[in-house]
Amino acid sequence: MNVTKSFIFSAALLASSALAGLPALAQGAQRVDVLHWWTSGGEAAALNVLKQNLNGEGVAWQDVPVAGGGGEQAMTVLRARVTSGNPPTASQMLGFDIQDWAEQGVLADLNAIATKENWDKNIPAALQQFSKYKGTWVAAPVNLHSTNWIWMNKKVFDDLGLKPPQNWDEFIGALDKVKASGKTALAHGGQPWQDATIFDSVVIATGGPEFYKKALIDLDPKALGSDTMKKVFERMTQLRKYVDNNFSGRDWNLASAMVIRGDAAVQIMGDWAKGEFVNAGKKPGTDFLCTRFPGTQGVVTFNTDQFAMFKVGADRQAAQQKMATAIEDPGFQSSFNVVKGSAPARTDVSDAAFDDCGKKAIADVKEAVAKETLLGSLAHGHAARAAVKNAMYDVITGVFNGDYSPDQGVKELVTAVAGAKQ
């Protein structure tokens, strides 16, 4: 071998060995880039289950985390990426946002996989109305969360001789007792989506499921402007008395941590809060208690996290499809949701691996489906489109912070919704 030939040979060798050492991406191996807002301890632990499953299938995970509970910031980043022609393989998405993106024509068609894997049969209609656009599956639902829960520190409750409250008066009685003991009664983060998460529950507890539907889903001006809504706002104002002085702007998981530590007694939050308790090594029934928001048993205000799949080049489609398949695998639905705190998105998943709160979540969903009281959460984009939701957020937060009296709040709500609906 002359010098030139040997040079070429060793350069080729070098190139191939360098390629072998490169991460899978450079070799055209499969990868998904996934935008999401699961950045708290419990959320990240759950997401890891999906990452690992996909890694096992030979799919590398490129993480695009955008912190901020409820996903508002994530949706801003997503808009920028899609607008600049660089959509992720998949993005975590809620309710009506999926429909809005589908309308833009940027989401992929998952019908072939959905048909092969029988999604139509095993995913409840309430979820499908968001996952499908004009008959085409565009998103893979990963869970079924709900917002009408309260989470209690058991020791704080035991020490004060308290039991999980089952109606409004018992709830207020319990909060009063905790406040009198010098502890923070209600752990809360003053962010619009968190205020609205409380609002979901108070509307159900005050007006019942029919009223919730009329006001927050049908957006009936009469219901929005009613005395019942005024009472909802009075109750929101009442709850405000039980939060600590530093509640403004606090992240939801830090509020969960206050209950976990026993610095506060109760958090009103969706069942992703359970993910935080479990991630901190806490056990339901021993360290913490869960119950439906007092007066809402039988109703479930749900939000389902879905991974909306974007139209991507042919080279990225195989990985995208593997991701969709992995998400709807019943085994994954169990192992993921055990960690996340949610019920599975599929109805054919056993509850055996779930703790008592998880079993209750699954049973409550069944009950709500039968009673037709499985209702989309306003706070998490499953009752109304983003424009209306955001208009409501402003009023709810205004009332909670005392900027509007309950009376003014009702009037503002009617006006805000009418403006945003157009």
Positions touching ligand GAL (CB under 6 A) are 37-38, 43, 69-71, 94, 145, 252, 272, 303, 305, 380
User: Which residues, 6 or more positions from 411, have their beta carbon under 8 angstroms from its beta carbon?
Assistant: 225
E strand or H helix that includes residue 94: strand 90-94
Closest residue to ligand GAL using C-beta atoms: 69
Task: Take residue 41 and report the two structure tokens written for it.
Answer: 């301890």
Is the distance from CB of 184 to CB of 213 less than 8 angstroms? Answer: no
Q: Which of 407, 382, 418, 386 is nearest to 144 (CA)?
A: 382
SS3 (DSSP) at 264: strand
Count CA within 13 A, CB hemisphere, residue 120. 10
- Provide, rounded to whole angstroms, the least separation between the CB of residue 217 and ligand GAL: 18
* Shortest distance (Å) from residue 222 CB to ligand GAL: 29
Residue positions counted in the chain:
422
Q: Which residues contact 27 (CB under 8 A, 6 or more apart)?
A: 19
Closer CB to ligand GAL, residue 223 or residue 379?
A: 379
Angle (CA) 298 327 304, round 5°: 30
Judged on CB neighbours under 10 Å (0-12, 13-18, 19+), 23 is exposed
The single-letter DSSP state of residue 303 is: E
In the complex, least distance from residue 69 CB atom to ligand GAL, rounded to whole angstroms: 4
- The two three-digit tokens of residue 280, written as one number: 């901190």
Q: Which residues contact 81 (CB under 8 A, 6 or more apart)?
A: 35, 87, 88
Residue bearing tokens 């009296």: 405
Sign (positive or negative) of CA dihedral 251, 257, 262, 263: negative
Instruction: State the CB neighbour count (10 A cutoff) for residue 285.
Output: 11
CA distances from 158 to 164, 180, 283 (A): 10, 15, 15
Q: Report the candidate in 326, 315, 314, 312 with the shortest Cα–Cα distance to residue 55.
A: 326
